[in-house]
Amino acid sequence: MVKLWLLNTGFCTANEQTLLQNAPRRRVKAYALAALLEHPQEGLILFDTGYAPRLLEAFKRFPSSIYGYLTPTITRDEWSAVNQIKALGYTADDIRTVIISHLHADHIAGLHDFSHATFLLSPEAFEVSSSQGFSALKHGFLPPLFPPATVQVTDFFHHQALPELGNTHDVFGDGLLRLVQLPGHAKGQVGLFVQTTCGPALLAADGCWSTTAYKDNHPPSPLALRLLFHDVPSTLKTLEHLHNFHKTNPEVLIIPSHCPDISARTELGKPTPLENI
């Protein structure tokens, strides 16, 4: 089984009604969670990196500054994934693989700290990594955040299927880490189904933004869907699939990257073992 820690790396502020249709109109903190995974044979793996101060530097350049204006962000060096890993007694060099759910800036801002690792991402996301300027911005991608690195592209999903979510990609062939496609929010988005020491969990990235969203099949606001999502019909279908998956597999802990309920059980800059969630 896989030991899992959640890393709370910072937050942006947003209108709650944007995140969840018909919610109150009030400013809330949308935290960015990454995950550290300790595989019994393959060692340490990151699922995303969350925020890091390099993002604030990227925001100073046009057109990336538009992204910064739309997502006012607070992050600190001591909250970054690399420093949280050090708090557990590890170093950046101990991370062998970084699984990238998608290339939005709030999921990859710490990649430079792990550029010696192998980056694992979908072929559609890899296509985005070569975009520049407004083309990159359209995909929520800031090129300075993606360092030169060894990249492994998962170009097939033909392993054991998950109910509602379809075929998976078994990362190491042992059933412990299985990538699942979660299309819609960003081009090439994937989640990760993990057999953890606390039971099965699904790192759902931005397949949904909260527990309420997947439990009630409750989407973001229409404005958010138009402005912030790559493919709206696929987004709504993915949310429906997560909703149905939860109904038939309630034992699986679904962890959206920005879930306020789960974020509230973590502390900024301090790794939280899954058993505390």
- The one-letter amino acid at 59: F
Domain that holds residue 236: 3-276
Q: In whole angstroms, what is the distance from residue 6 CA to residue 56 CA?
A: 22
User: Nearest 5 degrees, angle CA 123-CA 125-CA 129?
Assistant: 110
Q: Dump the DSSP string for 154-184.
A: -----EEEETTTEEEEESSSSSSEEEEE--S
pLDDT attached to residue 20: 86
Q: Which of 184, 248, 239, 189 is nearest to 214 (CA)?
A: 239
Q: Are 137 and 102 in contact (CB under 8 A)?
A: no
User: Nearest 5 degrees, angle CA 99-CA 109-CA 55?
Assistant: 170
pLDDT attached to residue 231: 95
What value does the mean pLDDT take over residues 174-188? 97
pLDDT attached to residue 227: 81
Residue 68, SS3 per DSSP? helix
> Which helix (H) or strand (E) element contains residue 4?
strand 3-15
Q: In whole angstroms, what is the distance from residue 85 CA to residue 171 CA?
A: 22
What value does the mean pLDDT take over residues 225-251? 95
Report whether pLDDT(79) > 90.
yes
pLDDT attached to residue 15: 86
Place of tokens 């020491």: 197
**Residue 275 pLDDT class (50, 70, 90 cuts):** very high
pLDDT digits (tens, 9 = 90+) for 109-139: 999 999 999 999 999 999 999 999 999 999 9
Residue 246, SS3 per DSSP? helix
pLDDT attached to residue 198: 97
What value does the mean pLDDT take over residues 238-247? 98
Question: What number of other Cβ atoms are within 10 A of residue 202's Cβ?
Answer: 25
CA 65 to chain centre: 22
Q: Are 32 and 96 in contact (CB under 8 A)?
A: no
What value does the mean pLDDT take over residues 235-243? 98
The count of structural domains within the chain is 1
What mean pLDDT value characterizes the chain?
95
Strands 95-99 and 43-47: parallel
Report whether pLDDT(226) > 90.
no
Q: Which of 212, 271, 197, 277 is nearest to 242 (CA)?
A: 212
- The one-letter amino acid at 168: T
**Residue 25 pLDDT class (50, 70, 90 cuts):** confident
Report whether pLDDT(54) > 90.
yes
pLDDT attached to residue 257: 98
Q: In whole angstroms, what is the distance from residue 58 CA to residue 147 CA?
A: 13
What is the CATH number for 123? 3.60.15.10
Q: Are 137 and 169 in contact (CB under 8 A)?
A: no
Copy the structure tokens of residue 8.
């709370």
Q: Which of 219, 209, 144, 162 is nearest to 12 (CA)?
A: 209
